[in-house]
Amino acid sequence: MPKIRTTVVITVILAATLTLAACSSSQPMGSMNDGDSASSAPRSSQGAFNDQDVVFAQMMVPHHEQAVEMSDMILTKSGIDRRISALATDITAAQGPEIATMNAWLTTWGASGTGMSGMDHGDTGMMSDSEMTGLKDASGTEAGRLFLTGMTAHHEGAITMAETEVSDGKNAAAIALAKKIVSTQAGEIQKMKDILATL
């Protein structure tokens, strides 16, 4: 009888010990998983990617940055057609957050830098330094025309880059953004052509 009682006691103690051990070991594991899921959320939410996705973001970031710079220039000027000012405001509002999104992707993908250095700006519609200076120094209707013609070429370059991403990219989020760029900027090109025809 004492032997049975002793066995029961030992069994209970062992069971309790194993339960406590399981609880204590599962807590760090749970905490680790939570931490891992939080830190890897950007990567997992964006899924797999390839070199084209990286190049797309590396090139589109400075491309967008110049569009925002052009828009900011025109918004500081007086005597600008209100339709042009409204368009510039829309471009800044749309492309600013997209820049932040693509920079976050590049960080998640372990990529850095941009893809514009050494490239022919004509291939992407980027304004040259002299063209940017011309826009900065212009005023009134002349500034409006320079903005519209420059931004039209800029948008056409962005659409070409985005279409390449749609056809060759792998990352779902990047492809979705590329499709949005194609749709939005094609619409804005038509608006700019319509406005330019009336100036």
Q: For 135-170, write each residue's pLDDT tens digit.
A: 999 999 999 999 999 999 999 999 999 999 999 999
pLDDT of residue 123: 74
Residue 130 pLDDT > 70: yes
Q: Using the predicted structure, report yes or no on whether residue 64 has a pLDDT greater than 60.
A: yes
Q: Is 16 exposed, middle or buried (0-12, 13-18, 19+ CB in 10 A)?
A: exposed
Residue 182 pLDDT exceeds 80: yes
91 in Cβ contact with 68 (< 8 Å): yes
The pLDDT of residue 173 is above 70: yes
3-state secondary structure of 80: coil
Output the pLDDT for position 147: 98
The larger pLDDT score, comparing residue 113 to residue 100, is at: 100
Q: In the prediction, which pLDDT does 122 show?
A: 53
Q: How far, in Å, CA of 61 to CA of 103, rounded?
A: 7
Residue 169 in contact with residue 175, Cβ under 8 Å? yes
- Round the average pLDDT of the chain to a whole number and report it: 80
Split at pLDDT 50, 70, 90, the class of 194 is very high
Distance of CA 162 to the CA centre of its chain: 12
Average pLDDT over residues 97-105: 95
Name the more confident of 129 and 5: 129
Instruction: Please determine, for residue 25, whether its predicted confidence score (pLDDT) is greater than 80.
Output: no
Lookup: tokens for 5 = 């009682």
Check: CB of residue 155 under 8 Å from CB of residue 118. Answer: no
